[in-house]
Amino acid sequence: MDTTPILGTAMWGWTVEPGTAFDLLDEFYRRGHRMVDTATNYPINKRPEDFRKAERILAEWIQVNGVHDMKVMIKIGSVNNMRTPEIFLNKSFLLIALDEYRAIFGDTLHTIMVHWDNRSNESEIRETFDFFQIAHEAGFKLGLSGIRYPKVYATVNTDFNFHFSIQIKHNLLHSDYQRYGDFHNKSTFFAYGMNAGGIKLDNTKYTEAASLKARGWDGRSFEIVPALKSLLEQYNANHSRTFTAFHECGLLYAMYHPDISGVLIGTSRLEQLIKTLDLATEFSHEDYTELYLLLGELSGKHGAE
């Protein structure tokens, strides 16, 4: 199994201070990993003054450290970080954005992704593909994330035959994989949101800085928690390696998916990143197929497609 860890930046400049983000980048890079994901509208904290703050933190670290082999995935399209559906994806705007990001990230710019596209108009989307053609000819990888109508994109793509990198939310509660059915076996899929915002098996352990709370979680319990705890009790009773945390199961559930090639790791503390990367290494070298199949059955009963 060869699943690529990708460092996520969605909370940088929000619950993750710049100094902590630098520590995360230092450790991630030290361990030989190179793919980092960001977006124009990160962090999405409804503070206009923080618009594009995550990308600025990343760009500063790259510049300060003189790094040239990082692979930056940048998602563009959103015009603010207020969690609104407003986007701007016409060809001229995207070309301006591409030029700016080439100036900011230089030779570390790797993948250009369209983000949060709610359009269904084929002619409008075709104009975005005209931009993709230019970016592709310039040597960049192309990507999609948060596309409301993947089928329209697939229809237009019959004239271009691009191989996309596609980010999908994929966890025990929800998966967007089936929505992109027209791209199966034709694209590379990356999973994000594996821990469903930071669900814990013990509701008393949430801190004020927890991602769920920052995103407005109302403190309700999750139906899947008691079922997952029961499953793990039974599994652990018959195996020497025990599982006790939701995030362990979420990471395994994504890494063992046969069509997922990378996982976005959005940890907010250095110790979390170290543990997650250690887990990813373990899951790559050990066989936990039995637990993966059990998690799949459990997920099917609790809302994931």
Give the structural domain span for 32: 4-301
Helix (H, G, I), strand (E, B) or coil at 278: helix
Residues 6+ apart with CB under 8 A from 128: 89, 90, 91, 94, 114, 117
Number of domains in the chain: 1
What was the pLDDT predicted at 134?
Answer: 98
pTM above 0.85, yes or no: yes
- Looking at residue 208, its pLDDT comes to 56
Q: Residue 215 maps to which CATH number?
A: 3.20.20.100
pLDDT value at residue 213: 52
Helix (H) / strand (E) containing 5: strand 4-8
DSSP secondary structure string for all residues of 140-209: -EEEEES-S-HHHHHHHHTTT---EEEEEEBSSS-B-GGGGGGGTTTSEEEEE-TTTTT--SSGGG--TT
Q: Which of 253, 280, 217, 213 is nearest to 14 (CA)?
A: 213
Q: What is the pLDDT of residue 305?
A: 47
The pLDDT assigned to 229 comes to: 97
pLDDT of residue 209: 52
Residue 214 pLDDT? 57
Going by the DSSP 8-state scheme, the letter that residue 106 receives in this structure is: G
Helix (H, G, I), strand (E, B) or coil at 263: strand
pLDDT means over runs of 10, the chain (305 residues):
94 97 98 98 97 98 98 96 94 97 98 96 98 98 98 98 98 96 97 92 64 55 90 98 97 98 97 98 98 97 64
